[in-house]
Amino acid sequence: ADLPALSRETGVRIVCATGLHQAVHYDPETLDGLSGGRLAGLFVTELTEGIGTTGVRAGLIKVAGGFHGLDAHARRTMTAAAEAHHATGAPIAVHLELGTGALDVLDLLCGELGVPGERVILGHLNRFPDPVAHREAAAAGCWLAFDGPSRAHHATDWRMPEAVSALAEAGFADRLLLGGDTVTAGARSVDGGPGMPYLLRRVRRRLAVVVGDELVERMLGEHPGRAFGTDWK
């Protein structure tokens, strides 16, 4: 309920998500209560009417894959997300566990379930810096999102600029996003990382050394508008 006022005060567009994370984050009774077609119905309601009693509508659907694959829970939530997308036009953002499983996600969402690639946002790709997998995912037309640094993923954080550069050189510069995650979302992150200010103050400059200021500005401005913008049905 506080998000609209926060957006007005800061001048920052805020997009809130509906969706469901991995099963480990919920008690079994909660998941049982969302069986059948209720999960897709919940997503659609939060996209079209509002979240809870706030009247604030979600603007995207967020779901999660597993480590190098999709379990039954992930397939169920992604199936519900696809149904909600087809009903509303909302984009689907995907948490990739340690950056893995991108192609499995696309086989399901874009292959079996008919979600257009440009309506899918794959997150945390720098956590598994495989250039072949990155190019295959980009070729599907989806958005590729790279994170700012965190303690949890320090071992691969330094690979992010070269991964972005490789995709740009392969012709996928128009599919790239740059952002944070819960571990870097505030001035002080939950794991002691440098937070969102560091993303804008240091990571932006570091990335520009490799790919240039023009592409970085597009990744922070134009691309999010295209990735998250929706012509609501």
pLDDT given at position 189: 47
| Domain membership flag for residue 46 | no
Give the range of the structural domain holding residue 79, as residue numbers without chain letter.
Answer: 60-228
| Domain membership flag for residue 16 | no
| Domain membership flag for residue 109 | yes
| Domain membership flag for residue 24 | no
CA 62 remoteness from chain centre: 7
Q: How many domains does the chain have?
A: 1
| Domain membership flag for residue 117 | yes
Listed as ranges, residues in the chain with pLDDT below 50 are: 182-189
**How many other C-beta atoms lie within 10 A of the C-beta of residue 206?**
13
Contact between 128 and 100 (Cβ < 8 Å) = yes
| Domain membership flag for residue 6 | no
DSSP string, 189-232: -TTS---HHHIIIIIHHHHHHHH-HHHHHHHHTHHHHHHH----
The CATH number of the domain holding residue 157 is 3.20.20.140
| Domain membership flag for residue 190 | yes
pLDDT given at position 228: 95
Nearest to 131 by CA among 98, 96, 102, 167: 167
pLDDT given at position 111: 97
| Domain membership flag for residue 55 | no
Nearest to 97 by CA among 61, 133, 144, 63: 63
pLDDT given at position 36: 78
- β strands within 25-147, DSSP E: 60-64, 92-95, 120-123, 143-147
Condensed to tens digits (0 to 9), the pLDDT of residues 2-47 reads: 999 999 999 988 999 999 999 999 999 999 888 878 999 999 999 9
Largest Cα separation within the chain, whole Å, is 50
Contact between 125 and 82 (Cβ < 8 Å) = no
pLDDT given at position 191: 58
Helix (H, G, I), strand (E, B) or coil at 17: strand
